Amino acid sequence: MSGIVRVGTCSWTDPTMVRAWYPPALRGAADRLRFYAAHFDTVEVDSTFYALPNPFTARLWAERTPPGFVLHVKAFGLLTKHGIRPQQLPGFIRSEHGFELDTYGRILHPTAELRERAFALFREGLEPLRESGKLGVILMQFPPYFVASEPNRQYLVESVNRLAPDRAAVEFRHVSWLAPRVLDDTLDMLRSLGACFVSVDAPRVSSPNALPPLTALTSDIAYVRFHGRNAATWNARVGSAAERFRYLYTEEELAEWVEPVRHLQEQAGTVYLMFNNCYADYAPRNAQQMLSLLTRPSSRDRPESEAPHAEEERPRGPVGNAAC
């Protein structure tokens, strides 16, 4: 029995997206979220990476979206070992802790107590989404310097367990986690945790933080994030995340994913395809294109007389498969 495929974007509030995609008459946050939810049935919340979620705001997200809508939430940076500044924390936490800062004003060596407090507040802030049944996965996107080492494995296991019973989706940004000798251990670890491996589409560049487009299933959820293929901005200093992921996929590039997605769909309960190229209207435009491509009959669905001969079949594209 095939699973459900749901397609959305990794933000609905980026300023360039607001200017380019939403009707000018929509002025408020409430109207924009309702407009978004009329076109897609899932979205990622990006703001929670920069600040801990507020229960009041989470309740508004739940109220402004229809039944069955799913919001995935990006983990706060401190939870995934990103550098954060003290002002990203609530004032009452800042008053309780003294911080040593690096040259960029970020907290050096956060204590275990501070991380534990942040995990607790993060989970508390999502309670309205949990109560409404609209909470999807917690996206744990680890930084490029989070390499495949034993201490980092232990931290990952502890972090996913701290988020339980909420579901975690893990996105690695260093190729060491997918090295041939390590890949099986990485996937087995996620499987044992019930965590979802996040597949990515990223620029095809030779860089430790540009992972190959590997499809791997480690839970009943499959999750793919489309970062665009802008090699020029991938590791460049840019003014915003939207600039970094400023890339409009061609239909041919999106079509490379059709067969891998259908393969995941055969094994997963739900497949989420999330577009992170949130510059202007690129993400919603590509998301709609992907939905259109997936509704077309595949070669396996055609009558035998209409199916191409083996030598005429197109390759599945650059996407490898490690479904399990």
Task: List, for residues 196-251, the tens digit of each pLDDT value.
Answer: 999 999 999 999 999 999 999 999 999 999 999 999 999 999 999 999 999 999 99
Domains and CATH numbers, the chain: 4-300 (3.20.20.410)
pTM: 0.91
At residue 258 the predicted structure's pLDDT band, cuts being 50, 70 and 90, is very high
Angle at alpha carbon of residue 266, lines to 262 and 270, rounded to 5°: 85
Higher pLDDT, 98 or 161: 161
- What would the pLDDT profile of 82-110 be if each residue is shown by its tens digit? 999 999 999 999 998 889 999 999 999 99
Cα distances from 116 to residues 81, 90, 97, 162, 188, in angstroms, run 12, 14, 13, 9, 26
Residue 136: strand, helix, or coil: strand
Mean pLDDT value across the chain: 92
The pLDDT of residue 210: 95
The pLDDT of residue 315: 32
User: Tokens 């996929």 appear where?
Assistant: 249
Burial label, 317 (beta-carbon count in 10 A; 0-12, 13-18, 19+):
middle
Interval 4-15 mean pLDDT: 97
User: Percentage of the chain surpassing pLDDT 90?
Assistant: 89
The answer, yes or no, to whether residue 76 has pLDDT greater than 60, is yes
The answer, yes or no, to whether residue 324 has pLDDT greater than 50, is no
How many Å apart are CA 116 and CA 83, to the nearest integer? Answer: 16
- For the chain, the distance separating the N- and C-terminal CA atoms, rounded to the nearest angstrom, is 16
Q: What residues are paired with 138 via a beta bridge? A: 73, 168
Q: Are 27 and 293 in contact (CB under 8 A)?
A: no
Contacts of residue 253, Cβ cutoff 8 Å, sequence gap at least 6: 229
Q: Are 276 and 284 in contact (CB under 8 A)?
A: no
Residue 44: other Cβ atoms inside 10 A: 26
Residue 142: strand, helix, or coil: coil
Residues 222-239: b if buried by 16+ CB within 10 A, e if exposed? bbbbbbbbbbeebeeeee
Interval 282-290 mean pLDDT: 98
Tokens in use for 104? 């960029």
